[in-house]
Structure 1
């Protein structure tokens, strides 16, 4: 069985960002450069979704997500923040981990299943600690891809 979404090594990074808008802009740029998407369209889609309610779901984690045109399969990107940033999260806590997801407009249940899989992965205490302790983007990707590959098997 294949994974619910694609996460490429180049889409995993650490960054020093200071606001929700900066995070969404950086995430849009990451999606654009790695998956050959239009950065402005991605950011507009992520911002529109945030206007419906924060994707900061608590425990210092946000999962900004959107559905966009001209995408054939769900794709993901990950940012570990250098320091916590306010994201209007449900629990009021600032975030330090950002797991972005973009899905095709017609993805329906696939989008929801991918969000659920990301949420489960991010709620795992050992995973959360490992992501905070990882020393490089390569180490972050290794942690994430091991779980993604295991869950797809």
Structure 2
């Protein structure tokens, strides 16, 4: 099974003025890694999902996601922002960390497992701090240690 998070899909110190710009950078990385069939269509899918309900999960974290026919394989892209940006409708919903989850349309519950596994761990301050303070290799190891499709 291909890894869910590749080192290629970790971006530290993203410069972005708004969530759409940050999401685009993460989608570009997933596309470059070969996880996305149609970059523009998947980007629209994620933007459309954000319009329904912003994916701010608390703790300064955004977790946009898309389960569409525009995804080849389930994958995530991690982004740490150089400056917090507004994510949701509430002024308190600023993020410094974004985890983009992409899943193929036929993936009925794999993406939900990933969301659950990540959300459960991101509730813990030590886990969040480790991601915020780590280099690329440490972020890679930390995230991959808590996610698995066959869990």
Q: TM-score, normalised by structure 1?
A: 0.85
User: Matched residues in 2 for 1:130 and 1:114: separation?
Assistant: 19
1:21 maps to 20
Secondary structure at 1:57 match in 2: strand
Higher helix content, 1 or 2: 1
Within-5 A mapping of 1:1-153: 6-14=4-12, 15-37=14-36, 38-69=38-69, 71-88=71-88, 92-134=92-134, 136-148=135-147
> Aligned pair in 2 of structure 1 residues 72, 25: CA closer, same or farther (>3 Å)?
closer
Kept in 1, the 8 Å contact 2:55–2:64? The answer is yes
How far residue 114 of structure 1 moved from its aligned partner, in angstroms, is: 1.8
Contact 2:4 2:144 in 1 (8 A): no
Distance 2:15 2:27 in 1: 15
Write the deviation string for residues 102-145 of structure 1: whole angstroms up to 9, x where unpaired: 111122222222211121122221110111111x3223212222
**What is the distance in 1 between the residues matched to 2:120 and 2:91?**
17
User: Stretches of 4+ moved more than 4 A in 1?
Assistant: none
Give the C-alpha shift of residue 59 in structure 1: 1.0
Give the length in aligned residue pairs.
149
Q: Given the two structures, how large is their TM-score scaled by the length of structure 2?
A: 0.86
Q: CA shift at 1:51, angstroms? A: 0.8
CA contact (8 A) 1:60 1:93 kept: yes
In structure 1, the gaps of 5 or more residues are none
Please give the root-mean-square deviation of Cα atoms over the aligned residues, in Å.
2.4
Contact map agreement 2:73 2:103 (CA 8 A) in 1: yes
